Amino acid sequence: MAASRMPKIGCAGWSIPSRYAAHFGPGDSALARYATRFEVAEINSSFYRPHQRTTYARWAATVPSGFRFSVKLPRTISHDSGLVGVGPLLDRFLDEVGGLGRTLGALLLQLPPSLALDTRRAGSFFRALRRRTPVPVVCEPRHASWFSAPAEALLQRHAISRAAVDPARVAAAALPGGAQGWHYWRWHGSPRMYYSDYPDAALADLAAQAMHQPGQAQAPWVIFDNTAHGFAIANALRLKEIAAHA
């Protein structure tokens, strides 16, 4: 059996529904309160619009020194440009997120479902990204062609992890892939994405997967994105309990 590693658990965003407020410590902002219980958070708003470097710096100053953020790359890079000719966009984005300093823990690249694997195009992009930053990168591809031996080889060559997701469009998407050493789970809500609550049985299975996945040199991340009805917070809190007693 693989060595057990306690996952770092958090949510996409840090909004705390009022019904769960009592589970968190005091703070001057939602992020400060969120950080009393969680070690990681995913910033998704960067996908839709840029944030100033000073905004990222303010977030970094709000959290404890051990807290880490993952930041989603803008849609202008992943969707609108299809990873092509994005050098200036990458430079701008990386300058902005540089405001996070040491709290920048990962970059998240979510690809559109229509973007099939093109090893030349993707390889060129990954090289450009890797020339610019050593920050861990996790990719969430959604076209079936990315779950193949050539895709795995490409991701491993550029030290890019592949996220394990739920719901999974293809069976292989449920398990992490790509570069070994660090794994990242993104659970969006199932059966209804963004809305559904996860039962304890599913969370127990997730805890077992995350804690015992082979090839982990660093603590895995688990991010809940089922935020529409606030279940992400509840599921993240419950997963912490389950993992602590596993």
CB atoms within 10 A of CB 3: 9
* 233 in Cβ contact with 16 (< 8 Å): yes
Instruction: Write the burial class of residue 57 (CB in 10 Å: 0-12 exposed, 13-18 middle, 19+ buried).
Output: middle
Average pLDDT score, the chain: 97
Beta strands in 4-85 (DSSP E): 8-12, 40-43, 68-72
Domain that holds residue 31: 8-244
118 located within any domain = yes
Name the band, by pLDDT with cuts 50, 70 and 90, for residue 3. Answer: low
pLDDT of residue 216: 87
Percentage of residues of the chain with pLDDT beyond 70? 99
2 pLDDT more than 70 = no
Q: Which residues fall within 8 angstroms of residue 168, CB to CB, at 6 or more apart?
A: 174
Least confident of 21-25, 173-177, 200-204, 214-218: 214-218
1 pLDDT more than 50 = no
Q: What is the pLDDT of residues 35-69, one digit of tens each?
A: 999 999 999 999 999 999 999 999 999 999 999 99
* Domain harbouring 143, CATH code: 3.20.20.410
25 located within any domain = yes
2 located within any domain = no
Between β-strands 68-72 and 104-110, what pairing exists: parallel, antiparallel or unpaired? parallel
Q: What is the pLDDT of residues 167-200, one digit of tens each?
A: 999 999 999 999 999 999 999 999 999 999 999 9
33 located within any domain = yes
pLDDT of residue 246: 86
Q: How many domains are there within the chain?
A: 1
Beta-bridge mates of residue 224 = 11, 187
59 located within any domain = yes
Separation CA 96–CA 74 (nearest Å):
12
Whole-Å CA distances, 72 to 39, 97, 201, 232, 239: 17, 10, 29, 18, 23
141 located within any domain = yes
3 located within any domain = no
pLDDT of residue 4: 72
Separation CA 129–CA 94 (nearest Å):
9
Q: What is the mean pLDDT of residues 97-121?
A: 99
pLDDT of residue 62: 99
